[in-house]
Amino acid sequence: MNQEILLKEINRKKNNMTEEVIYRQETQDDFQEVFELNNKAFGQDNEAKIVSALRDNPNVFIPELSIVATKNKKIIGHILFTKINIQDDNKNFHESLGLAPMAVLPEFQKSGIGGKLIRYGLETAKQLDYQSVIVLGHEHYYPKFGFEPAEKWNIKAPFDVPSNVFMAIELVKYGLKNISGTVIYPKEFETV
């Protein structure tokens, strides 16, 4: 390889490494690439199918909260927040958001993309006047973003899970005040 070609290759690689990651709302043109991303990140298509099904439910899907991370115009990460309810003992419903799923291409995992997707999503949700978010996730990862065990507010999962992996965050002060009960997820989560 001559020196000129070698320099071009080095510069190309350097540009790829320094290319800025852009976080933005998903568009319809992204749907197939997001499907493939979820498939690659999880090693199967269950989460990809859930995302597609949730998009089709206007009662729970919030377009501004389906967020992608792109680098070199390629989608490398995706996060989805959808409307959920917390049903109290008196059968009253309190709206919240569920964070699920979040996916990052395997080659970009452990590089901060997921964390930035979470922060971007939480800030967007706050700007849209949502009060809280619920997540079922890794007990050592989500607390970095302010999530705490949901049992702090007497909020329970609709299925049996350890309390340290079922977490919530208040997006505004007292966002979960006087709210307790069992989370009701959209039916789409049961489809796969």
What pLDDT was estimated at residue 192? 65
What pLDDT was estimated at residue 191? 75
What pLDDT was estimated at residue 85? 98
Instruction: Report the domain count for the chain.
Output: 1
Name residues of the chain where pLDDT drops below 70: 1-18, 192
What pLDDT was estimated at residue 9? 57
What pLDDT was estimated at residue 59? 97
Taking the whole predicted model, whether its pTM rises above 0.85 is answered as: yes
What pLDDT was estimated at residue 190? 86
Q: For residue 173, what are the domain limits?
A: 3-190
Max distance between CA atoms of the chain, in angstroms, equals: 76
Q: What is the CATH number of the domain that holds 101?
A: 3.40.630.30
What pLDDT was estimated at residue 82? 98
SS (H, E, C) 26-77: CCHHHHHHHHHHHHHHHCCCHHHHHHHHHHCCCCCEEEEEEEEEEECCEEEE
